[in-house]
Amino acid sequence: MKEGVPHIICLFGPQGSGKGTQAERLSAWLGIPHISPGNIFRKAMADETDLGKQVADIINSGHLVPDEVTNTLMRERIEQEDCLMGFVFDGYPRNTAQNDALHAMTQLTHALVIDIPEEESLHRIGERRVCSQCGMTYHLTFKPSKVTGVCDVCGSALTHRDDDKPDAIRKRLDIYHTSTEPLITSFEQRGIVHRINGMGSIDDVWKRVQEAIQKE
């Protein structure tokens, strides 16, 4: 990798592809923030802030928060000082309106697409658990907490989110296929897309992610 060059990275992939976990690793490896709108919204919900109350019903039904809310949140976040050397987006942009807003804010250097079959998405998400307070994500098979049902970071209870249940999962997969996948074509035209096989262990996928970043 080139020292001192900002990395502005977005991870794409269907629900359950492990992009959140890989984003956390990328963040630690490159020393740049991991920015996930979903995590920010869920933390706001747990804290019962005005933002949390605004989006709770929307998220729990498996729908997306309005673009104007998400775009404003992302613009404010990347303007913070810790983002000067880049950041890792996970879950943004998800549609054309968000992509247009992102283009007005900054330019991606890498778009990583983690591919898994749809049946694998359904299986994996069914075993996902999320901290009710800090938003840290776990998986019963691939990333279990040290103590069953308890967050390693803050000690709060882990929950099976309403939007990780079958009907909500299918809605989100439909949204990904119809609204998010077309964005990848535009990034392919810029030559910044790296497709990554998302099957196998977390460490297997991580090696592929590192190789994609090092190809620059």
- Respond yes or no: is residue 128 known to be catalytic: yes
Chain centroid, CA 49 distance in Å: 22
- Respond yes or no: is residue 146 known to be catalytic: no
Query: Residue 120's pLDDT is what?
Result: 92
Is 180 part of any domain? Answer: yes
Active-site residue (options: 19, 42, 43, 129): 19
Q: What is the pLDDT of residues 28-64, one digit of tens each?
A: 999 999 999 888 887 788 888 887 888 887 877 767 7
Is 29 part of any domain? Answer: yes
Is 1 part of any domain? Answer: no
Query: Residue 83's pLDDT is what?
Result: 95
- Respond yes or no: is residue 161 known to be catalytic: yes
- Respond yes or no: is residue 129 known to be catalytic: no
Is 88 part of any domain? Answer: yes
Number of domains in the chain: 1
Active-site residue (options: 25, 42, 43, 94): 94
Is 44 part of any domain? Answer: yes
Is 125 part of any domain? Answer: yes
Query: Residue 4's pLDDT is what?
Result: 64
Q: What is the pLDDT of residues 74-87, one digit of tens each?
A: 898 999 999 999 99
- Respond yes or no: is residue 75 known to be catalytic: no
Rounded to two decimals, the pTM is 0.79
Q: What is the pLDDT of residues 104-129, one digit of tens each?
A: 999 999 999 999 998 899 888 889 89
For residue 121, give the CATH number of its domain. 3.40.50.300
Cα distances from 26 to residues 43, 52, 167, 211, in angstroms, run: 21, 27, 31, 12
Is 168 part of any domain? Answer: yes
Position 216 confidence tier, pLDDT thresholds 50, 70, 90:
low
| Structural domain that includes position 52 | 7-214
Active-site residue (options: 43, 128, 129, 143): 128
Is 2 part of any domain? Answer: no
Task: Identify the residue with better confidence: 38 or 216.
Answer: 38
